[in-house]
Structures are given as structure tokens and as C-alpha cells.
Amino acid sequence: MRWALVKVCLAVTTMVVVAFAVPLGLVVKEMARDRAFSNAERQAAAVAPALSITTEREQLERVVASAGSDARMAVHVPETDGKAAVDIGRGRATDEDIATVRRMGRASTTEVKGGFTLLQPVALSSGAIAVVEVYVPEAEVSNGVGTAWAVLAGVGAALVVGSVAVADRLGVRMVQPAQRLVEGARELGEGRLGARVPEEGPTELRLAAAAFNSMADQVVQLLANERELAADLSHRLRTPLTVLRLNAASLGDGPAAEQTREAVAQLEREVDTIIRTAREARPQTAAAGPGAGCDAAEVVRERMKFWSALAEDEGRTWRLAGVERPARVPVARADLAAALDALLGNVFRHTPEGTAFAVDVHHADDAVIVLVSDAGPGIPDPEAAMARGRGSGTEGSTGLGLDIVRRLAESTGGDVRIGSSVLGGAEVRIWLQLDGRKPARRGHRGAVRRRRAGAPASIFNRFRSHP
């Protein structure tokens, strides 16, 4: 494409230069010729008044000397009234040419050796016709023509070279963005999802690059969503696995019970492997779709029915508060249930049997707060616990559960905080924003914030007042 553009520009510029330079060169040559013969006519006209007065040789010689070089001018006076013919100066024209001019009575130009002669007829007082001959050398006729042609040729060559250079630069400006677009498409096809194309060059190529980058972003987003879905679905298997593990632990001794426990442990390891393998890319927060929403109090009551049975088997005391009235939140029911299962599953997995826990739902003007607390050993490093995929430092943890909760809260404009609970263990607070506004950020992720802007102090005081 680049060379095609250069060739086209070269051909067009050459034709334009030829179309203008050739006629202009001919005009310059003709102007030089006209200038030379105009000078010759002026010299001949300077002698004409003297010829109309006298035909004496001496006087005519002085007139010729004063009018110009006698080497270039000659005067031919015919024989009249018994006076002999007079020829002054060096004549180059033939007698026939001179006779023809006298007969025709008008000026004539004749080519001679080394140049041209201008034959100008002049009427004498006697009625005869004298002829003034002015020699015009070839060098004078073509004076300056060569220089003008050389300048025209140089200008034409410069125009051609300049047009080729400009066409080459334009070609590079067009070809390079196209090549980068091809390379980016090839890299993306080879699996390098970070391949992007600079948006530069002509408008069409910039639009193509922008479309390519948008497509690549969509591909990355779709792949990330698929990985997130695989990881989240795998993580939801932890809830029934926890039940299996607890039931298997109560089977007692024996080969069948031991095989069951080993199978459950193997299944848990496989689920952990699936979660870590599916999470190869950094996930993106996905907000709830239009119209999504549920009653948080109802979801909490429903999930606590499930976990309360397991709590009784392990001798755990539990408390549920704040679910007496509806609490609408802008998240999908299944997502909120998965987040609660993740938090309660962590309580059962990472605290000893008999450890108490509580779930509280608080209502604020612009948010619904869900608190999950326990009386276990707590979380020593909240920052690491919130780091997706790295786990909390606890054996058997993938770190995905808390990230599921975080993404759910951030999809509403809220957040998640980890700290110490009034029960003595860990407390996870889920702030679900109702109007989509971003909450004021204070401190760092993992820190406990007891007071929230816009939330009544009685919310947390009431929670602390529970036994």
C-alpha cells in the first residue's frame, strides 16, 4: 500500500510538472527571441530618420556608429538620381533577400550563418527603398533560455522528489497503524489478552483501533466473568461439603466412616483446586442487573434455618436479630444467599465446635447493614483476608468467600469491613447501599469502623447491647 501510494503520487506529479514545464520553457524561449529582435528593430529605427534626410556615406557611417556596432549593422542604399549605390557595414544577407524586402516593402527576418538578420526597409526622399540590416547572433536569441530551463528542471525535480517524500510519509502514517492493528489482532488471537492498539493515524484507522480495543476489553471481561462464575459456583459447593464433613465426623469409627471422611476431604481439595484454577485473571465487579432486589431479612431467616441445624449438631449457640421487618436491598436473592453462606461457612470451618455466632440486620436511612460475628479466635490479618485468591492465612482457605461478599457490597456502592466483634472473635460487616452512592472511605480495608456517616449511633450501640 505504501509503495502503491508513492508510485501514484510520482506519476501524477510527473505529469503535472511536464504539463506546466514544457509550455513554460517554450514561452521562455520565445520571449528571449522576441527580446533580441525587438532590440534589433530599435537599432534599425534609429537609422531610418537619417536615411530620409541624406544618403551620404560619411554621414551614414556616423549615424550607424552612433546607433550601434557597425559589425552588426549594415545599410544598403540603392542607386538613385545618378548616384552610386552605398553599402555601409558588414552585410550578411544575400542580394536576393534584400531585393525581396525592397519589393515587398516590409521587414523580414532571414537566417544566416551564426544567427539571424533583420532587414528593415526605409523609404528615401527620392522614392527609392533603402534596407537597414541588423545582425542578431544565435547567442543573443537564446540568451537566458538555458538558465531558465535549468531552473524549471530543478523546480520540477524538486516537486517530484518532494511529492514522493510526502507520499512516503503519508503511506507510513497509514500503513504503520494498519500494521499495528494486524499485530494486535494476531497477539489477541494467540491468547495475549493484554494486546491493545494505539489509537493514531487517519480517522478511519483510529476508529478501527478504538473498536479493536473495545472488543479486546469485552473479550477480557467475558473471560473474567466466566472464570468468576466458575469460581463462585465452585465456592457455593462448600456449603453442602461442610454439611457432609460435619455428618461424616459424626459417623464414628470404622472403615466405612473413615473412607467417607477421606472422600469428603478429597472432594474439598478438588473444589479448592477448581476455585484456584478458575481464577487466573483479575475479576471485575459485576453490579446487580436492572430490577434486581430482594428482602435481606427474609434471606437471612431462610439461610439461618439451614445453618441452625448444623449449629445444634456442633453445640453452637447462635443469635438472630433485626429480621422482624423487611429490608429491601438492590442485590439478587441468590447472590445475597451465597454471600451469607460464605460467611457462615467460614465460621463453621475456621472456629472450634461450640463457638457461638450471631447474625444481625440493621436498618439505616440509606443502607442495610448485615453483621456476622463469632466468638472464635478472630482474623489476625484482615488485609490478607480481603485479598482475593490469597486466602486469609488459614489452612484450607481460598480467600474467595470474603471476596464474593465484597463484590456484592461494592455492586451497591457499599463496602465490607472486618474487625473484632463484641463476642470476642471476628466481625464481618456488610454495608449494602440503597441509593447507589459511594460510601465515604476512611481508614483501610480490613479496619473496623464503628461509626458510619449518616448511620444512627444506636445501630451499633443496640448491637453491642445484645448478650
> Of 265, 284, 303, which residue is a domain's last?
284
Residue 238 belongs to some domain of the structure: yes
For 377, the grid coordinates are: 479466635
Would you state the pLDDT for residue 146? 85
CATH number of the domain bearing residue 223: 1.10.287.130
The answer on 117 and 29 residing in a single domain is yes
Residue 160, pLDDT > 90, answer no
| Per-residue pLDDT reduced to its tens digit, 453-465 | 333 333 334 333 3
Task: Find the mean pLDDT for residues 271-299.
Answer: 62
The answer on 407 and 390 residing in a single domain is yes
The answer on 315 and 226 residing in a single domain is no
User: Which of 99-108, 152-161, 283-292 has the lowest average pLDDT?
Assistant: 283-292
Q: Which amino acid is present at 326? A: P
Task: Find the mean pLDDT for residues 102-128.
Answer: 82
The answer on 71 and 31 residing in a single domain is yes
The answer on 256 and 310 residing in a single domain is no
> Of 284, 314, 344, which residue is a domain's last?
284
The answer on 291 and 267 residing in a single domain is no
CA 113/CA 345 separation, integer angstroms: 119
Structural domain harbouring 398: 286-464
CA 376/CA 419 separation, integer angstroms: 12
Residue 407 three-state SS = helix
CA 400/CA 390 separation, integer angstroms: 8
| Per-residue pLDDT reduced to its tens digit, 212-229 | 888 888 888 887 777 777
* Residue in the block written with cell 460467611: 343
| Per-residue pLDDT reduced to its tens digit, 241-257 | 777 777 777 777 777 77
pTM of the model: 0.42
The answer on 349 and 309 residing in a single domain is yes
End-to-end Cα, the chain, rounded Å: 80
Task: Find the mean pLDDT for residues 256-262.
Answer: 72
Would you state the pLDDT for residue 371? 94
The answer on 422 and 297 residing in a single domain is yes
> Is residue 140 very low, low, confident or very high in pLDDT (cuts 50, 70, 90)?
confident
CATH number of the domain bearing residue 82: 3.30.450
| Per-residue pLDDT reduced to its tens digit, 44-98 | 877 777 777 777 777 777 777 776 665 678 888 887 766 777 778 777 888 888 8
> Is residue 448 very low, low, confident or very high in pLDDT (cuts 50, 70, 90)?
very low
Where do runs of H (alpha helix) occur along 95-237? 95-104, 138-141, 145-189, 203-236
Helix axes 333-350, 296-314, angle to 10 degrees: 20
Count of C-beta atoms within a 10 Å radius of residue 351: 20
Task: Find the mean pLDDT for residues 22-49.
Answer: 84
Residue 181 belongs to some domain of the structure: no
Give the chain's domain count.
3
User: Which of 48-52, 195-199, 350-354 has the lowest average pLDDT?
Assistant: 48-52
The answer on 432 and 393 residing in a single domain is yes
> Of 267, 284, 301, which residue is a domain's last?
284
The secondary structure of residue 443, as a DSSP letter, is S
CA 425/CA 2 separation, integer angstroms: 71
